[in-house]
Amino acid sequence: MILNRDHCERPAVLSVCTMSHLGETFFVCQIRLVTAHRSAVGTGSVVTDALLRELVDNIPANVAYIDCEQRYQYCNRAYLNTYGIDPGRLVGLHLVELLGAEGYETMRPHVERVLNGESTHFERPVHTRHQLHYVEGHYVPHRAPDGQVAGFFIVVWDITSRRAREAQLHARATIDPLTGTLNRQTLQDKLQEIIDNHMTTQQALALLYLDLDRFKQINDDYGHAVGDRLLVTFCQRLRNTLRGSDLIWRVGGDEFVICLNHLHHSGDATKIASIILHAMQEPIPLADDPDVPPLQATVSIGIAWLDGSAADNTELEFAAKGLITSNYLVGEADIALYEAKRGGRCRHALRPVKIVSVPDALPAPACRMEPAVSEHENLQDFGVS
């Protein structure tokens, strides 16, 4: 029973369905008056429907009602605005006519589930009016008085802004803001995944540890702004040199780690390192003023080489037990870098990874991952066969 404006009790039917969004639970309610007089029913229904439509038209979500034949019977103002469709054209329109064949096939499993009486939830990209949006939606079944599913409600929120904020937060957590490379925090887990994948595919990989020569002196002589410009230019040249599948981390002020996958032999790694050294031989402009002389900077590179050949199972056996870790491989590349520095800088040194004893207190391997690139990717970009 409910009280009307005259404070008289009137019988009514209340329908309630629940849905969640951003961790909060919402209730969608529908009230219909029940009376023995048809005229009273008509008047009460009109008032209730008008209030309900006004409410639904003003909530920040796309709302629609689809019958059991998958045809639109109602949608709110936000839904019409999103798809840019005239209200007169919508009623009776089939889902596939509005969503398109591809969009309908994507949503078909949810449609089938809700018509079987099960509420569904989804997040997906949607193209509307030549714009890409990300939406979070609910399909909620509507049951007739006999309990049969008569149709379902669609309630969809636009979460494009939320996705953008999440992407920004992820970038801040994983990307170095100056150079755009991966940051140190992602190195251990990501590299461990690559090492584990190396064990699955038995493909060789190389880890390069790079250090800009006399970078501290450059900072002292020219200032940190010039040092930053040098780092940015250096990373741009690295990207122009490497393949898209090769990962770059900034692990210190002027220190970088590069992982090279899908190599055939150690000569591939040394050739790529030589290309990097050559790329840095071109002087770097310090300012837009042509009267300011450019800076000549060099880099030293240490290479840890992990063979993929099954002929020598020493490395493979230890890695399979989780004893070749990301920390261990970085340490081997760091030793090779020291050898390159000791040899006179502006050069590379290679150190094959050989396990002669079990390393102590090394962290357990991370979860396995799928191959980072297709097995058909090769070294043709470097002239390596």
37, with CB counted inside 10 A (0-12, 13-18, 19+), is: exposed
Does position 314 have pLDDT exceeding 70, yes or no? no
Beta bridge partners of 349: 302
Does position 42 have pLDDT exceeding 70, yes or no? no
pLDDT tens digit string along 162-208? 888 887 777 777 889 899 999 988 888 889 888 888 777 777 889 99
Confidence of residue 301 (pLDDT cuts 50, 70, 90): very high
The tokens 């450019």 sit on which residue? 294
User: What CATH class has 2-164?
Assistant: alpha beta
CB crowding 231-260: b at 16 or more within 10 Å, else e: bebbbebbeebbbeebbbbbbeebbbbbbb
Q: According to CATH, where is 3.30.450.20 located in the chain?
A: 2-164
Give me the pLDDT at residue 78, please.
86
pLDDT tens digit string along 200-235? 777 788 999 999 998 999 888 888 888 999 999 999
Mean pLDDT score, 121-134: 80
pLDDT tens digit string along 264-280? 889 999 999 999 999 98
pLDDT tens digit string along 80-120? 888 788 877 888 999 999 888 988 999 999 999 999 999 99
Q: Could you please report the per-residue DSSP string of 48-110?
A: HHHHHHHHHHTSSSEEEEEETTSBEEEE-HHHHHHHT--HHHHTT-BHHHHHHHHHHHHHHHH
Q: Which residue has the higher pLDDT, 52 or 247?
A: 247
Confidence of residue 357 (pLDDT cuts 50, 70, 90): very low
Does position 138 have pLDDT exceeding 90, yes or no? yes
Q: Which residue has the higher pLDDT, 269 or 361?
A: 269
Does position 365 have pLDDT exceeding 70, yes or no? no
* Spatial distance between the Cα atoms of 133 and 115, rounded to a whole number of angstroms: 26
* Spatial distance between the Cα atoms of 343 and 62, rounded to a whole number of angstroms: 67
Beta bridge partners of 250: 183, 256
Give me the pLDDT at residue 86, please.
80
Confidence of residue 323 (pLDDT cuts 50, 70, 90): low
Q: Which of 180, 189, 137 is nearest to 159 (CA)?
A: 137
Confidence of residue 1 (pLDDT cuts 50, 70, 90): low
Confidence of residue 372 (pLDDT cuts 50, 70, 90): very low
Q: Can you give the pTM of this predicted structure? A: 0.57
Helices (H), 130-252: 160-174, 187-201, 215-222, 224-241
Give me the pLDDT at residue 362, please.
42
**Element (DSSP H or E) covering residue 126:** strand 120-128
Q: Could you please report the per-residue DSSP string of 288-326?
A: S-TTSPPB---EEEEEEEE---TTS-HHHHHHHTT-S-H
Which DSSP category does 6 fall into? T
Averaged confidence pLDDT in the chain: 78
CATH number for 175-382 (one of 3.40.50.970, 1.10.287.1400, 3.30.70.270, 3.40.50.2000): it is 3.30.70.270
Give me the pLDDT at residue 330, please.
93
Confidence of residue 135 (pLDDT cuts 50, 70, 90): confident
Radius of gyration (C-alpha) of the chain in whole angstroms? 32
Q: According to CATH, where is 3.30.70.270 located in the chain?
A: 175-382
* Spatial distance between the Cα atoms of 7 and 2, rounded to a whole number of angstroms: 9
Total length of the chain: 385
